[in-house]
Amino acid sequence: MVRQGNYSQLYIGGTWVDAAADDTLDVVSPFTEEVLARVPAGSRPDVDRAVAAAREAFDHGPWPRMPLTERMTVLRRLAAALAERHDEMATLISQEMGCPISLSHTMQTTGAQLLLDSFLDLAPRYEWSTVRRSDTGNGLVTREPVGVVAAVVPWNAPLLVTMLKAVPALLAGCTVVLKPSPEATLDSYLFADLLKDTGLPDGVVNIVPADREVSEYLVTHRDVDKVSFTGSTAAGRRIAALCGQDLRRVTLELGGKSAAVVLDDADLDVVVPSIQALSLRNNGQACSNKTRIVVARSRQAELLDRMSEMVTSLSVGDPADPATHVGPVVSAAQRERVEGYIEVGRQEGAKVLVGGGRPAGFDRGWFVEPTVFTDVEPSMRIAQEEIFGPVLTVLAFDGEDEAVAVANDSDYGLNGSVFTADPEHALAVARRIRTGTVELNGNGVGFHAPIGGFKCSGIGREAGLEGFDAYVELKSYGLPASLADTLSRQS
């Protein structure tokens, strides 16, 4: 049973084992600033044990050799176990990183459940094996598991991203070493508890919290075949460079500075709730948040009035309170970063429409007021750099071409939105925006579609059928015609 307190063990080889060293990581409540728990700080020997367990399970264990249907049965048990402990998981995530509990129930936990279900639905449709016949030969083309996967997940959506990486890897037949963020490790302990009751063979999933230095050791480990990382673009560049030295396969889902383009015929009754839901969610700490609001100048004043009213109506407070819209950011360092950007915005000449400080009435907790900047130019740092807090910038445009240019004026290309009364026109504009996902009038793509970024927002895609691609290697077999006939009939 996962509980608050101190932990002395790591989940390696299908069981709880003592950590190799006495170093610990503090998991601190961003609301109370008190230590929730201490967990072992994984060391290099711990990583060696975890990778060795995953290597053994992949090279000699049953998991990669099971039929897909048997692996799916195990993961269905995981889905059932998660459903039974949904409330506990949501509470843990809110406690450790400050997500409002209402969002922990929906995005963090129900979202993870739906993502798992989505992969289970899609797995039988994936083209694991096909026979290709031609005058030049008969080929059996298979997609086989890539091997041992190092899955490095962030603190802002720890369980959701764990599912985004671990589930397709496991369904493909891979084994996994999961490296949770030091700020949010408690959910990974509960995740390990859930795994123990599924019938997952020993060593298929191993979990080692660790700091940056040990994390780098993991992603460069000679027995790791694949690295899947979600986090900042700066960290992604470092991981890409490290993996590149050994030509290790790598998937990167990185930062964003996404634009919501509000055309002159947009329905603000749709726009404003979407900004609340998709630009300020998770206390502003979501890489896909639309933090640049790019609005037709003819609608700017009206939108600013509506945004000001919406933002000032938000309840800021205890993430455990169902009425809270915005909780604290994850750490004192993160608040310092966000407040630094707010000061930079003022120095650059942007104007604070609402917010800009710390909310009154909180003697503790790493809170930042939801903040909206106006008079923002595209070249300003607050319009170019990822802030990762509840800070929005509003930029005006005079024509559609300028709107597209502003939306594309970014090193990032992760997400975006287009709002207009004409959905076909919205799609036409969205096609011009260089980003991995564009939501029309606030409509999400769902978990059956791939997500990921252009430019500095990453390499590769996750979710959807394409989410399996990261965890397989293509292999081709030359076949005699008789065997090609037999396999073709079987498929």
Domain with CATH 3.40.605.10 in the chain: 5-254+457-476
Q: Which of 96, 183, 253, 369 is catalytic?
A: 253
For 5-254+457-476, CATH gives 3.40.605.10
pLDDT tens digits, one per residue of 24-80: 999 999 999 999 999 999 999 999 999 999 999 999 999 999 999 999 999 999 999
287 is catalytic: yes
pLDDT tens digits, one per residue of 217-254: 999 999 999 999 999 999 999 999 999 999 999 999 99
Domain with CATH 3.40.309.10 in the chain: 258-440
The C-alpha atoms of residue 378 and residue 367 are separated, in whole angstroms, by 27
Q: Which of 287, 369, 456, 462 is catalytic?
A: 287
The C-alpha atoms of residue 329 and residue 334 are separated, in whole angstroms, by 7
Rg over CA atoms, the chain:
23
State the distance between the two ends of the chain, measured CA to CA, in whole angstroms. Answer: 45
Look-up of token digits 């959807």:
464
pTM exceeding 0.85 = yes
pLDDT tens digits, one per residue of 92-138: 999 999 999 999 999 999 999 999 999 999 999 999 999 999 999 99
**pLDDT higher than threshold 90 for residue 3:** no
**pLDDT higher than threshold 80 for residue 2:** no
CB atoms within 10 A of CB 436: 23
The confidence score (pLDDT) of residue 38 equals: 95
Span 459-466, mean pLDDT?
A: 98
Helical residues (DSSP H) of 226-331, grouped into ranges: 233-245, 268-279, 297-313
**pLDDT higher than threshold 60 for residue 4:** no
The C-alpha atoms of residue 255 and residue 457 are separated, in whole angstroms, by 5
The confidence score (pLDDT) of residue 5 equals: 57
Tokens of 484: 């090609």
**375 backbone dihedrals φ, ψ, rounded to 5°:** 55, 45
CATH homologous superfamily of domain 258-440?
A: Aldehyde Dehydrogenase; Chain A, domain 2 (3.40.309.10)
Tokens of 429: 């504009």
pLDDT tens digits, one per residue of 281-321: 999 999 999 999 999 999 999 999 999 999 999 999 999 99
Sign of the dihedral through C-alpha 369, 370, 376, 382: positive
